[in-house]
Structure formats: structure tokens, C-alpha cells
Structure 1
Amino acid sequence: MSTSSRSAPRREKARAATIDEIKLTALTHMRETGTVDFRFADIARAMEMTPPALYRYFADRDELLSALIADAYNDLGRVVAEARDAVPDEDIGARFLAVAHAYRQWARQEPQQFALILGLPVAGYAAPVDGPTTEAAQRAMSQLSSLFVQAIERGVLGPPRLRDVHPVIAECAAQKNEHLATAIPPETFQAMLHTWSTLHGFAALEAYGHFDWIDEAGRDALFDGHARLAAEVAGIPAPNTARHD
């Protein structure tokens, strides 16, 4: 093996390590400042680099933001999938609760990443169309929708409490069904959106400190009831097993 061929993997590893360090530095900056915005100069200063040196790794701030957003979605998707898969496959109700609790816990533990992907858009940033952020978002959000599909396929999904569907939502459902092996009825598609927005609303309020006036045990109980109510309204079956947090 030539010297040049041996050095290539070393260069690739060094480059990957620097990219990871840049992303970690950006996340640390966001955590310390309580914001999801930053300048290249901020990151370069923290790493004792010159701003132009960062352009060897990212074309601009937006490319770095896109990488951070994709990482955040991937992390959320991993956490939620691990929680879901730790529950018996046949207990869809308990799997739903596991997903809900994992979503909430991730938002509490990673408020900056949560804000980065599900908070106010970063000023001046536009995600690339059909880029890594879109793919990562679809993978993360599919962890919840897959439970509805599974419940449909097993014949255990009940009718949602609200069944009147606006034509625009019905059209959205039809577009999604073009890419699914199992069709999701419009009223169930609407219930999925209701469920996600319900869980997200609680997670956002808590992540940004609006429930701090309730102690942790109270918030745990409140969220568990919140998630169970969302599941019941959406037609998700009740869990067969008791949940142990």
C-alpha cells in the first residue's frame, strides 16, 4: 500500500473529526447563549480558528445550520424509535405512550436542538429543498405515524373523535397515501396531525419553562394524562401493559 493511499483515510478521519468539533462548538454556543443563531466568527473564535478556515468544511452558515438540523432530527428519531421498540410490538397503545414520553424527554434535555428544528425559524435561513433536513425530518416524524399505520393494519385503530375533515386536509392525506403501502383515511390523517400538535404543544411549553410552576412529579402526571387523552381522541387503543417510567 502506498504512502498516499494510507494517508487518505487519515485525512478523511481528521476532516470528519473537525466537522464534528465545529458542530459541537456551534451547539455549545447555542446552549450558552440561549439562541439558535450564530455567526461563523463566533464558532471560529471558540475554536481558535480564522473564519475563512471554516469554509474548508462548510460552504456557509446555512450549510452548517442544515447539518445541525439534520443531526437534531436524526437524534430525535433515534431516541423515539428506541423507546418505541423497547415496548412489545403488539401493544400499540403502550408503544404510543413510549413515543410520546420520549419526545417530551428529548425536548426537555435538548431545548436548543428542539428549538432549532421545531421552534421559530432562524432569521435568514432557508432549508434546501429535498435536502438532508427534509429527509431527516421525515424519518423522525414517521416514528409516530408508523404506529397509526400499524394499528390500521392490525384492525385495532378506532375511529377518531373528530371526523369532519376539511378538503385541504383530505387532499394532504391523499398526497401522503401515494407513498404509503397502507392508505390512511383522511379522518385518521387529521387525527395524526392533532396528536402531534397536542404533544408538541405540551413539550414546547415545558421546554421553554412555562410549566416550571408545577413540580416535576406533577408535570409527569399531567403529561401522561395529556398523552393518554390524545391517544384516546385519535383512536389509538389503550395500552395492555402498565407504563413504568
Structure 2
Amino acid sequence: MTANVDNARVAQKHQRMQYARVNMCKHKKGDRPMEASSTTGPSRRQRVRDATLRELISVSREILTTQGVEALTIRAVAREMGMTPPGVYRYFDSHRALLDAVILAILDELTEFVAAAVAEVDEADTAGRLVTASRALRRWGVEHPREFHLSLVVSPPEEENPTVRRARAQVGRLFGEIFAGAWRDYGSASPAPWPREPRIEPLAERLVRILEITMPSTAAAAAFTRCWMRLYGMVCLESLGLPRIVGDEEGDLFEAELAELSRTLGLPEAALRTGR
């Protein structure tokens, strides 16, 4: 299954990287693997296959967005594509593999959305970049609630394949790198944002290890863990529509949380006006 998902991700990014030989599904005994010319790129057959794969993922995402994850079945995708279910299984050897490919496409889009928003802020403005990244995450999550819920809220870690696990970590990794820059400029020069809490430190060490990032200090790692969990948690709640129950349609609760964390970290007040 992991091989299928990896290859699906390659096809999603085909315009940004050169093709390599791609095998999307397990070959039956005696089948010859499809090969691409090393000098002219992928064969016509491979290009058609990759285009179909991208369309399968796009159709699957449309079903997810309009009907919900319960409606996202192999049979439903086949019907929308004008294919038979066995035809879809030529591209994904299981329903789980199809879901994983959709999740990878969603996570790539989310990460690129946040990164593009941050790129609009001067690199020297580390506080503004952190605030911008936080708001971009919320905006995407609110605008794509079903995609956010599938890709970053559901699926226990033990059910993830390694490729999806790494993709989920890339969102937190991006925030971690931005947070580390803001901490070096502001957090380390301010009083400790929270009293040292020994129970948090091993959790922070584990999070940093999972995300494969480097924090300037143990205090920075602990502060990042607290901030990430609170902001990410707020976006999860908004993706589920819970704040709207009390009339929060504009993200007021999120903004209040972001403002409090900014003050706690010693970020300048002007950072909260970044991009507004």
C-alpha cells in the first residue's frame, strides 16, 4: 500500500519534478513493468496512466468535499469516472490506498498554502511570519473542513502508513521552523513564557523528534509544543464547526488565543497586524 501512495504522490507533483519509472500497483505474475525512456521521459502509456491517476484523486476529493468521507468509496469513484470498480483497483489496490493518496494531495496543498502566505512576509520579521502561518492554517482549515478533518484529525497513528505519517508531520515541521526563528528573536530574550513543567519536557522532546526539527533549547521546545497544540487544537475545533455553535463566525476565539500566545512569547504587538 505504501508503494501505491508514494507513486500517487509522485504523479501529483509531476509538473515540478522529472519522471522516474513509476509502478502504481502490484504487477500480476508475468506482467512486464511499464518503463519510461531515460532520454525522452515517460512513455505515452505512462503519461495516460498518470493523468488518470490524477483525475481519480481529483474526483475522490470532490466526493469527499460534497458528500463526506462516508461516500468516498471505490464504487462511487468508479461511477463518477465512468469506470468499473476493478478498473479503479488497477490504480489503488485497496480503499485505504485511495484514501491515503487523497490525504497526501490535501496535505501537499495545505503545506504549500501556508508556505506561500509566509513567503509574503519579510524573512527578518519572524514574529509576523509566525502570526501569518497561524492564520493561514486556520483559513485553510475553515475553508476546507472535510479535507482538514480527514487529513489531520481522524485516523489514529497506528493506522497510518509511513508515507502518510511523514506527510502529516510536514505541516507541524513548517510551523516548528517558523516558531524557532521567532523564539531566537524574541522568546529567548523574554522571561520564560511558562514556569518550567517537567511533565511537558519529554512530550516536547518527542514532538520535536517526530517533526524532525531542531529547537534552540528545551524551553523553546516546550513552548512550541504548548503553542502548537493550542493553535492546532483551535483549528480542529473550527473545522468541526464547534465555535459557530456559540456564534463565532469570524474566528474570534482563535484570534484571542493567538493574541494571548503572542504576548506570552514576547512578540511585538505589531505582529498581530501583519497581513491585515
Per the shorter chain, which TM-score range? 0.7 to 0.9
The one of 225, 232, 235 equivalent to 1:200 is 232
- State the Cα RMSD in Å: 3.0
Tell me, in whole angstroms, the C-alpha distance in 2 between the residues paired with 1:110 and 1:175.
Answer: 25
Specify the code of the residue in structure 2 equivalent to 1:62.
R
Q: 1:60 — aligned with what?
A: 94
Alignment map for 1:6-17 (pairs within 5 Å)? 9-17=43-51
Q: Give ranges in structure 1 of 5+ residues lacking alignment.
A: none
- Deviation digits for residues 78-125 of structure 1, max 9, x if unmatched? 111111111111111111110011001100111111001222328xx9
Structure 2 match to 1:226: 257
Question: Letter of the aligned partner of 1:34 in structure 2?
Answer: G
Per the alignment, residue 120 of structure 1 pairs with 154
Alpha-carbon separation, structure 2, partners of 1:173 and 1:73: 24
Q: Specify the code of the residue in structure 2 equivalent to 1:151.
A: A
Classify 1:10/1:160 alpha carbon distance in 2 versus 1 (closer, same or farther; 3 Å).
Answer: farther
- Percent of pairs with identical residues: 23
TM-score, length-scaled by structure 2: 0.73
Change (3 A) 1:92 1:109: same
Q: Is 77-86 or 150-159 further displaced after alignment?
A: 150-159
State the TM-score, normalized to the length of structure 1. Answer: 0.81
Deviation at residue 7 of structure 1 after TM alignment: 10
1:214 equivalent in structure 2: 247
Matched residue type, 1:40 = I
Q: Which residue number corresponds to residue 141 of structure 1?
A: 172
Counterpart among 184, 193, 208 of residue 161 in structure 1: 193
* Aligned AA (1:149): A
For the Cα contact (< 8 Å) 1:25–1:43, is it kept in 2?
A: yes
The number of residue pairs the alignment matches comes to 234
Higher relative contact order (CA 8 A, sep 6+): 1
Of 118, 123, 133 in structure 2, the residue corresponding to residue 99 of structure 1 is 133
Contact 1:127 1:133 in 2 (8 A): yes
CA distance change for structure 1 residues 52 and 156 in 2, over 3 Å: closer, same or farther? Answer: same
